[in-house]
A and B are shown apart, each in its own frame.
Chain A
Amino acid sequence: MKWLVFLGISAAVLLAAVGLGPTPIVDLLHSPIIWNLRVPRALLGFVVGGSLGLAGASLQSLVRNPLADPFLLGLSGGASLGAVIAIAFHLPGPWALPLAAFAGALVAMGLVFRLALAGGGELDPRVLLLGGVAVGAFAGAITTAIVSLADATELRNAYLWLWGGLSAASWQAVLVLCLYAPLPVVVLLASSGSLDLLTLGEEPARYLGADVGRVKLRVYLAASLLTAAAVAAAGVIGFVGLIVPHLGRALWGVRHRALLPASFLAGGALLVAADTLARVVVAPRELPVGIVTALIGVPFFVLLLRRWTAY
């Protein structure tokens, strides 16, 4: 029942994203704009937001920290650095920026991974978090250095990209993401049972039958790959990965079999709704969507904090 309501809300959000925009839809009925711009943008937003929500939920359980966000693992730092390098060196082609961001995110993931494996054997989630913060900060420092040495327009444009946006949405982008995302998504969904056990702690999870080492590895890699793709497609959009899992838990409970798909749907709906607002509120201008998700996300977060302290 709850699922039906939620699917209904998601469908409504998608329809609103297609129907609302700087130009009234009645003027666009015979224009390719709806099909070539608005629909791919809504779909891309849904997949990106869903990926961030799903990755966030998985990572919060993996690192056993309800404040974890997919970007705490250094991926956003790496992606930003990659993108800024692409901008600063004027790398050619429309795919240069996303590919550079993706590559940057992967490099950051590799570094954090190496750090977390240093103890020998399994991934240490605490090191994942701390290592992620360190790598992210380091990448951020280099990014800022490059940006400060670039000329004024590039500087501003680099920051606009970093704030995230779906304006580059096209059917090609949707296709690429939809070919890529299913594998990490399925891996994460399949880890639902093990993630349930992990919330008890690694030792109890092991005794309950979870292959803890493998699960941590799978979840970390899959969540990172999803996040890297999301950042490559749409820049750094914060708060979605942090807030959505908590919303999911409040509505669906803690069982990952329900929480993970719910986080995907909720993340998708949230981002599409935020993007619609970003396009409509100051039309014909556009707000960077990362700002809208933060503006929506922070009050939500405050509400959640109050609920937390009630426990």
Chain B
Amino acid sequence: MDRVLILEARGVTFRYPGASRDALRGVSCSVESGELVAVIGPNGSGKTSLLRVALGVQPPAAGSASILERPASSWQRRDLARLVGVVTQREDNLFPQRVAETVRLGRFPHQGVWGGERAADREAVARAMAQCDVLRLADRWLWSLSGGEYQRVRIARALAQEPRLLVLDEPTAGLDLRYEMELFELVHRLVDRQGLGALMVTHDVNLAARFAHRVLVLANGRAAAQGPPREVLTRELLATVYEWPVVISAFEGAPQVIPLRAERSSTPG
């Protein structure tokens, strides 16, 4: 399948108003269709800020952010929403909702002002829920779902937008092992079989190493390294970025990071 460059941020520098230091300094990042790019780094390294700038929500002080080769800020939000589906770190449900209702919200960018529900909408919603395996949860209240189920529902909503790029900000935070694996598998499947692009901010370095095609490591607002996991995730880099001694072990061809315990300051050969 042809690779299309969907998202590209080049040398972006950004500082929040009133902040004392830059959140991002000269960071570049790109995502093509059919690839899963993971963004990792310590807390406060600028991961969420990168998403905001790349998606045109915040203007960069320097550098450029473009979607499909047009400046990100020039996109109408509705048009952009037909292209990019975002699962944010947090959302707040003001009033109790059911699963099907919230997934339907993903059809907003495709509907007119007086938006009625058309057959195309219903099909897109059903397909999205099937892909995320939440069809059987359709009538459940959101507050009754487990963390993992809720995240899958949110991904279904993003998929209902029929996007070409999925952006996920720490989607596995607080999820246990099973739900984490399910989620990574789901995203990988969507990238692999549907040709979606995916940009995922995650704290889980090891799963990123196993599932992502490319990894971007951020530290203090700068890009410490970028490329395939095997090349990028070295002991020196990670120990420096996370300020903690680690060893690297390979599993299924992917580097796995093992943090050392505090007493041992040196690593075995």
Contacts and interface: CB of A to CB of B under 8 A. Distances in A.
A162 to B, nearest CB: 31
Interface in A187-222: 190, 193-194, 196-197, 199-201, 203-204, 206-212
Contacts of B82: 209
Given A207-B81, A254-B97, A193 B108 contact: yes
Contact of B113 (A190, A196, A207): A190
Please indicate which of the listed interface residues B86, B90, B92, B94 has the most CB atoms of chain A within 10 Å of its own CB.
B94
B96 A311 contact: yes
Contacts of A194: 108
Contact of B101 (A64, A203, A253): A253
A22 B247 CA distance: 89
A208 B95 contact: no
B57 interface: yes
A307 B199 CA distance: 41
Contacts of B161: 208-209
A57 to B, nearest CB: 11
Contact of A254 (B85, B92, B101): B101
Given A193-B113, A203-B88, A255-B101, A210 B93 contact: no
B114 A197 contact: no
A147 B109 CA distance: 52
Contact of A200 (B77, B80, B92, B115): B92
A218 to B, nearest CB: 12
B105 A200 contact: yes
A297 interface: no
A66 B95 CA distance: 8
Interface residues of B, number: 34
Interface string B64-93: 000000000000111111101110101111
Interface residues of A, number: 26
B225 to A, nearest CB: 28
A78 to B, nearest CB: 27
Contacts of B55: 207
Contact of A209 (B81, B91, B96, B143): B81
A254 B102 CA distance: 10
Given A66-B94, A209-B78, A197 B105 contact: yes
Contact of B108 (A208, A249, A311): A208
B77 A209 contact: yes
A61 interface: yes
A130 to B, nearest CB: 18
Contact of B77 (A196, A210, A255): A210
Interface of A: 61, 64, 66, 190, 193-194, 196-197, 199-201, 203-204, 206-212, 249, 253-255, 257, 311
Interface of B: 55, 57, 76-82, 84-86, 88, 90-97, 101-102, 105-106, 108-109, 111, 113-115, 143, 157, 161
10 contacts: A66-B94, A199-B95, A200-B93, A200-B105, A203-B57, A208-B106, A208-B157, A209-B81, A249-B95, A254-B96
